[in-house]
């Protein structure tokens, strides 16, 4: 792995720990799968249905599954 990739992974981890959806969204929207996974995790923890819906509507099946679980309880 390159230093740049390691730095980005660290940034994603820090954003996730802070619950920074905006920061994660910016990185995820570039196509970074790690950021997308972290975004789904944080949105799930925060029960942010709007963010999960946005991701699901964009074709993310994991977000769609989580959204379905949260809305059928």
The pLDDT, as a whole number, for residue 2 is 76
- Token pair belonging to 48: 């942010």
Contact 10, 33 (CB under 8 A): no
| Model pLDDT for residues 32-49, shown as the tens digit of each residue | 999 999 999 999 999 999
| Model pLDDT for residues 2-38, shown as the tens digit of each residue | 777 889 999 999 999 999 999 999 999 999 999 999 9
Residue ranges per structural domain of the chain: 3-72
Closest CA to 54 of 37, 38, 40, 70: 40
pLDDT band for position 73 (50/70/90)? low
The pLDDT, as a whole number, for residue 22 is 97
């Amino acid at each position: 792995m390159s230093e740049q990739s390691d730095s980005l992974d660290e940034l994603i981890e820090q954003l996730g720990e802070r619950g920074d959806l905006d920061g994660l969204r910016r990185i995820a929207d570039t196509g970074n799968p790690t950021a997308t996974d972290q975004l789904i995790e944080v949105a799930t923890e925060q029960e942010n249905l709007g963010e999960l819906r946005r991701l699901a509507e964009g074709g993310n099946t994991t977000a769609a599954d989580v959204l379905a679980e949260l809305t059928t309880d």
